[in-house]
Structure 1
Amino acid sequence: MTQDNALKIVKVEKENHDTTSIYFAGPDMERFKTRKPGQFASIRIFRDGAWSEAHPFTLSCAPGEETLRMTIKKSGAFTSTIPDIAPGTPIQCSGPYGQFCKDIGASREIVMIAGGVGITPFLSVLRHFQETGADNAILLFWANKTPDDAFAAQELEDLTQSLKLHVVHVFSRVAPAGQGAAPAFSDGRPGKISHEYGRLDQAMLLRHLVSTDASFYLCGPPSMQQAVLAELSRCGVDPGKVDKEAFISNKP
């Protein structure tokens, strides 16, 4: 693909101190119309007269949206340049790829567990569920260091008003007000929002799980995934039945 017929960045939106969403559209969008929520794609950006190396990121938008969206956290040389991309910048996008969250809509009871920017495939699913009027029962655990890292907190709270969604924010580096470091949950706010403090563990999971027979989905750093799988096993959930995002391409 040449620079002239590449997709183009149409908007750059800062989500918080280290996370930015880029929106892009243009020619060759037809192949993205059949994408599934939770899939990812690989992008190259044209700057300084050359294309970058390819980097995979989740398509955080709902499949029904006409503009593609990726929500990217600073974690290296390439991702650190994302906030400085100018609208109009050419971008190549291959995909969509992946089987994560495949057929998730068929599950009546869903448990999503995200670590940091691992929330992005679940945002895609939830945005899709809102567009389609889904009535699945959804429990979402989102682990972050502090509330400032939870860039989509307001959107998630809004989604609890239209979906059967319970969001549990887990903050590892914040203690509940007036309680030292002891765990706490549910601060009584409306909209099915709860808060936990510390690491996501067996006790924390059991405080909110309705059933261990739900469909479980997990996305986050490898070390976080390993720790969560161990805690789920202690809860009676078979780790082998947990759908995990590994950014594996499903192309031939």
Structure 2
Amino acid sequence: MVKSYPTQQFPSHEGVTKHLGRDIEVNDRVIFSDPWGTIEFKGTGVFIAGGAGITPFIAILRKLEQDGQLEGNRLFFSNKAREDVFLQGELFRMMGRAAVCTLTQEKHRDYEHGRIDKDWLQSRVDDYSQPFYVCGPPSMVDDLKSALKDLGAEVNSIVFEE
């Protein structure tokens, strides 16, 4: 799956998709190597994704659903605008009320508004002894790692791409 960003809306976005649209032509070869910084499932917990950071969680959540082990897991998925939220139907079908989507740059009646930060987590999470899976923009991951530690999460229970 490739998430693309409209150039006029996100002119400074320097992700892989910008290069795919600009530098790759039909019949070009693309070589993919082994994944790096993978996130492994370490037990029932809270998944926190920012934008395309949902990507490694998709396979994990699908596998948990297939194995009948989704119960008890939660998903917090933050995006800038409603049009950025992808796989929403599948995520809500799998997770039900255990999935919460937020928007940071747009207000919409179907989504919570605001950043997932320390205050946001404190109002929604009671147990910090469980695993927390965090993936998103580097600044978001750094802020959430710090916030989770401040809230009592063990360093070993915070799983993120390295």
What is the match of residue 105 of structure 2?
173
**What letter matches 1:82 in structure 2?**
L
Taking structure 2 as the reference length, the TM-score comes to 0.77
Q: Who is 2:33 aligned against? A: 94
Number of residue pairs matched by the alignment: 156
- Give the 5 Å matches for 1:1-252: 18=5, 75-76=13-14, 78-83=16-21, 89-101=28-40, 104=41, 107=43, 109-160=44-95, 166-175=98-107, 195-239=111-155, 241-246=157-162
Higher relative contact order (CA 8 A, sep 6+): 2
Q: Which residue matches 1:70?
A: none
Q: What corresponds to 1:182 in structure 2?
A: none
User: CA separation of 1:173/1:239 partners in 2, compared to 1, >3 Å: closer, same or farther?
Assistant: farther
CA contact (8 A) 1:196 1:204 kept: no
Change beyond 3 A, Cα 1:140–1:80: same
Would you say the 8 A contact 1:110–1:215 is kept in 2? yes
Q: Which amino acid aligns with 1:217?
A: Y
Runs of 4 or more, structure 1, over 4 Å off, are 83-89, 96-99
Cα distance in 2 between the residues matched to 1:80 and 1:236 = 39
* 1:205–1:83 Cα change, 3 Å: same
More helix, by proportion: 2
Kept in 1, the 8 Å contact 2:74–2:95? The answer is no
Unaligned runs of 5+ in 2: 7-11
Q: Call closer, same or farther: CA 1:166–1:87 in 2, change over 3 Å.
A: farther
Structure with a larger share of its residues in strand: 1
Q: Secondary structure at the match of 2:127?
A: coil
Whether the 8 Å contact between 1:14 and 1:83 is mirrored in structure 2 is no
State the SS of the aligned residue for 1:151.
coil
- Pair 241,87 (structure 1): closer, same or farther in 2 beyond 3 Å: same
For residues 145 and 99 of structure 1, what CA distance do their matches in structure 2 show?
24
Cα offsets for 1:103-133 (capped at 9, x unmatched): x2x51x3111111111100111112222333
